[in-house]
Structure 1
Amino acid sequence: MTAPNFSSASVLDALNWRYATKMFDASKKIPTDTWSALEQSLVLAPSSFGLEPWKFFVVDDTAVRAKLLEASWKQAQVVEASHLVVLAIKTGLSEADVDRAMARTAEVRDASLESLQGFGNVIKNFMKNVPDVDGWSTRQTYIALGQLMVSAALLGIDTCPIEGFMPAQYDEILGLSEMGYHSVVVCAAGYRSEADKYAHLPKVRFPVEDKVQHI
């Protein structure tokens, strides 16, 4: 597989164009093929040991999204955006999850489970020494969020990450607890409204030399 051919300028243009969209144009929907690529960007997100301790719930049902609005401090992005993704962790990650990951690796790479046993044991030992596995999984999930947002920007799709919601209520409305998952962060995606004043404001960041230091 050859390396992609994005220019430095095109990547920076996309990232400067991106902002946390406050108002979406509810009449505009993300094309199916574009959304499929964004779903794949989530699946392709890196995770420690390749465990993928998450699942991404795309909420299509407008009635359900209306319920989520109440559990999101009435942030309109939840119902106005073309798509809404709830990024959730698999709670209580266990050795069985490690075994499943090793089995998948063996399948995809045409390797024997025996050849992966040592690696699997390393992961299991690591997990035994992590004081808060769910906290670790939560931090992993933000990697996927970042990848989704950058991928969207490169495709000209607006996003808004949302932490201002009530996870317990989301879990109840979506039935996540029964499935063994817990909501961590939400991302709305679609197209910005021309009425969103934040779309026209300069991006505020400290200078590179203030935030990046070479040692």
Structure 2
Amino acid sequence: MSIIEQLNWRYATKKFDTTKSLSREKLNILKEAFNLTAVSYGLQTLKLVVVADKIARERLVEVAYGQRQVVDSSHLLVLCIQNEIDGNDVNAHFDTIKAIRNTPDAILNPFKKELKSTVEDMPADKKLIWATKQAYIALGNLMTVCAVEGIDSCPMEGFIPKVLDEKLELEKHGLSSVLLFPVGYRADDDMFADFKKVRQPISKTVVEL
């Protein structure tokens, strides 16, 4: 099917088939897609936490206000941001550029210096907002990839981040959760799968100048 047909097929899955799981190949595609997401300055300050264990996820249902998708899906993807973003992240990024592209320091250093100054001078609250916006870009990318690959998903903001972070011990990894993204395959009796998609006409949502 075309990309538009796949996007029409996609919906926020309310009920997953608990007997179906993503293959390792499909899961790897999602990991790769996350890793290839466009990010500001190329800094990858996001992390994707993949939770497969059903027992661990059962403890998260209450944190997600009773939404069973977190445990009934094949895997629960948790999009996280780093708690600390500083010059070390910039150094690591430029080390990676140099290793992959073999770009001379003389070319990299001016941009590296400017970016370190930008990151280190940014107030903590602005860093949080900045990083969180990157997480939403990653979510949009993953949603589209899921549609193309025939994977069902449900983007979720409805949960208590601090409690979820405690239950998954994300602090040990220096992370904070931003979004939940259960993935898997829709149940045959999920009535929402057959609902017609409700969208305004393109003439009302697109402005051509």
- Length-normalised TM-score, structure 1: 0.92
**Which structure 1 residue ranges, 5 or more long, are not aligned?**
1-8
Aligned residue number for residue 144 of structure 2: 150
Q: Which of 57, 60, 63 is equivalent to 1:71?
A: 63
Alpha-carbon distance in 2 for matches of 1:109, 1:68: 42
Q: Does 1:37 align with 2:29?
A: yes
2:131 counterpart (137, 140, 148): 137
Find the aligned partners of 2:24 and 2:191 in 1 and give their Cα distance. 28
- Number of matched pairs: 207
Shift in Å, 1:156: 0.5
2:103 partner SS: coil
Aligned residue in 2 for 1:4 = none
Residue number in structure 2 paired with 1:159: 153
Provide the aligned C-alpha RMSD in A: 1.3
Correspondence 1:190-205 to 2 at 5 A: 190-205=184-199
Aligned to 2:207, which of 191, 201, 213? 213
Shift of 1:69: 1.2
Match in the other structure for 2:116: 124
Amino acid across the alignment from 2:172:
E
2:80 paired residue among 52, 74, 88: 88
Give the C-alpha shift of residue 113 in structure 1.
3.6
How far, CA to CA, are the matches of 1:114 and 1:85 in structure 2? Answer: 40
2:163 alignment counterpart: 169
What one-letter code is carried by the residue in structure 1 that aligns with 2:137? I
Per the TM alignment, residue 194 of structure 1 is displaced from its structure 2 partner at its CA by 1.4
Structure 2 Cα separation of the partners of residues 49 and 26 of structure 1: 40
Aligned: 1:115 with 2:102: no
Q: In 2, Cα distance between the equivalents of 1:11 and 1:81? A: 24
Unaligned runs of 5+ in 2: none
Q: Is the CA contact (8 Å cut-off) linking 1:163 and 1:185 kept in structure 2?
A: yes
Contact kept? 2:52, 2:74, Cα under 8 Å: no
Equivalent residues of 1:92, 1:134 under 8 A apart: no
Is 2:192 the counterpart of 1:188? no
**2:57 maps to 1:61:** no
Give, in whole Å, the separation in 2 of the partners of 1:125 and 1:210.
Answer: 42
Give every structure 1 segment of 4 or more consecutive aligned residues whose post-TM-superposition deviation is greater than 2 Å: 112-115, 124-127
